[in-house]
Amino acid sequence: MNNTNFRKPVRKAVFPVAGLGTRFLPATKAIPKELLPVVDRPLIQYAVDEAREAGIEEFVFVTGRGKTAIVEHFDTAYELESTMTGRGKSLDVLDPTRIQPGSLVTVRQQVPLGLGHAVWCARAVIGDEPFAIFLPDELMYGSPGCMAQMVEAYNEVGGNLVSVLEVPMEEVSSYGVIAPGESKGNLTEVKGLVEKPKVADAPSNKIVSGRYILQPEVMDLLASQGKGAGGEIQLTDSMAKLIGEQPFHAVTFNGRRFDCGSKVGFVEATLAIALDREDMGEEVRKMAKKMLG
The answer to whether residues 217 and 279 belong to one domain is no
The answer to whether residues 205 and 274 belong to one domain is no
User: Whose CA is closest to 63, among 17, 15, 119?
Assistant: 17
Of the candidate ranges 49-53, 151-155, 238-242, 270-274, the one whose mean pLDDT is the lowest = 238-242
Phi and psi of 206, rounded to 5°?
Answer: -95, 110
For residue 201, the SS3 value is helix
The answer to whether residues 276 and 229 belong to one domain is no
pLDDT of residue 5: 64
The answer to whether residues 288 and 252 belong to one domain is no
Phi and psi of 222, rounded to 5°?
Answer: -65, -30
Range of the domain at 64: 8-261
Whole-angstrom distance, CA of residue 21 vs CA of residue 270 = 18
The pLDDT confidence band at residue 275, using thresholds 50, 70 and 90, is very high
Q: Is 228 exposed, middle or buried (0-12, 13-18, 19+ CB in 10 A)?
A: middle
pLDDT of residue 102: 84
Asked whether residue 207 is domain-assigned, the answer is yes
pLDDT of residue 20: 85
pLDDT of residue 157: 92
pTM listed for this prediction: 0.92
The pLDDT confidence band at residue 1, using thresholds 50, 70 and 90, is very low
- Fill in the amino acid letter for 221: L
pLDDT digits over 169-201, tens only? 988 888 889 999 998 989 999 999 888 888 988
Q: Is 264 exposed, middle or buried (0-12, 13-18, 19+ CB in 10 A)?
A: exposed
The answer to whether residues 156 and 239 belong to one domain is yes
Query: In this prediction, what percent of the chain has a pLDDT beyond 90?
Result: 68
Phi and psi of 109, rounded to 5°?
Answer: -100, 100
